[in-house]
Amino acid sequence: MSDKSIRFEGLIHGGDYNPDQWLDRPDVLPEDLRLMKLARCNAMSVGIFAWSSLEPREGEFNFDWLESVIERLHAEGIRTILATPSGARPAWLARKYPEVLRVTADGHRRRFGERHNHCYTSPVYREKVGIINRELSSRFGRHPAVILWHLSNEYGGECHCDLCAQAFRRWLEGRYGTLENLNRAWWNSFWSHSYSDWDEVDPPSPLGETTVHALNLEWKRFVTARTVDFMKFEIAAVREFSPDIPVTTNLMGFSEGLDPWEIAPELDVVSWDSYSGWHGTGTRTVGKGEWDAQGRDWRLAANVAFVHDLNRSLKSKPFLLMESTPSTTNWQAVSKLKRPGMHALSSIQAVAHGSDSVQYFQWRKSRGSFEKFHGAVKEPALEEGYRRRRG
């Protein structure tokens, strides 16, 4: 267990900053710094999905751009929450080492794409994550600007590869001791489901077993345990060179699949991402907030308050609002703008329930790819449109 404090006084205000998307625009960072100061931002989360920019080819590291960003932020009084990049692996890693890609419940190995498409059990993936985490830690782990490690991003998902199946069997053996105990506890005599060898136990799959309740429950517990084990591996890697910097990872409220009570003891600070569907979107923001199908903001506000309180309770101390949107999302069925005053109101609600921060995803809007329609603090397309209308 761990309980280090963030070396920072006051409320953290900032958000996810992804300058690696703008390395071809030397004019962007100075303008961002100017606007961050105007917005009274004092901390930025950097490097969350930057692996391909930090290690464009295996063993070839490029940290100079990151060092420049951290130094220039620090010169303006803005601290850095430094991320490990394990939430999205580069294409070279997936191509050269296909074992790092997850296998679905029906036995298909995923191809490269999206994010969180990696096996937490894979020795190769752990090796590569450990290498880049230690490289980051050795270079920036004692930098005065770095106040917090942001582990990966929204841990989640499961893998059904042979490595994970074998790990599941060993995990069950540790819990039950003998197959006799497992068979008795699971009532496996029904339908002649009793096992005679540990290797006969498979994870739930539509190609095999999905109706044994105990199997389904233990698999969910194992997925949490495997995720926590991987997270502890990441923590050990960054602490090798920065033992005093606290760690967090952004949880997702009531997200199905992971037990936050098992994750929280390993963290110094709890944080979570809140994307609530205000003003009658009628959509469920699974895992990152709550919703009300009739669009009643008062009911939604009560639900969000409950999730804030959940995160406050995980370590019985203040948490961080790691991500929120200052405007819209790109993935709700109807991504509405917030009404005037709503952003301030929802932010103050988080603080009132114990948050030591108000942070956004993201600072500068992406100019392409999946979340190009996701709102941001700085939206260049809107600014350009405004300038054109002004003549």
Q: Which token pair is 220?
A: 């969910």
Which residue shows structure tokens 């500068």? 364
Q: Is 9 a catalytic residue?
A: no
3-state DSSP assignment of residue 304:
helix
Residue among 158, 234, 290, 323 flagged as catalytic: 323
Residue among 55, 154, 218, 290 flagged as catalytic: 154
Q: How far, in Å, are 76, 81, 127, 323, 373 from residue 73 at the CA level? A: 5, 11, 31, 20, 26
d(Cα 367, Cα 365) in Å, to the nearest integer? 6
DSSP output for 315-340: TTS-BEEEE--SS--SSSSS-PPPPT
d(Cα 244, Cα 18) in Å, to the nearest integer? 25
Q: Is 384 a catalytic residue?
A: no
Kind and range of the H or E element at 51?
Answer: helix 51-54
Closest Cα to residue 181, out of 225, 214, 203?
214
Q: For residue 151, how many C-alpha atoms fall within 13 Å in the half-sphere facing its CB?
A: 31
Q: What is the 3-state secondary structure (H, E, C) of 251-296?
A: ECCCCCCCCHHHHHHHCCCCEEECCCCCCCCCCCCCCCCCCCCCCC
DSSP output for 94-119: HHH-GGGS-B-TTSPBPPS-SSS-S-
d(Cα 343, Cα 359) in Å, to the nearest integer? 12
Active site (catalytic) residues: 154, 323
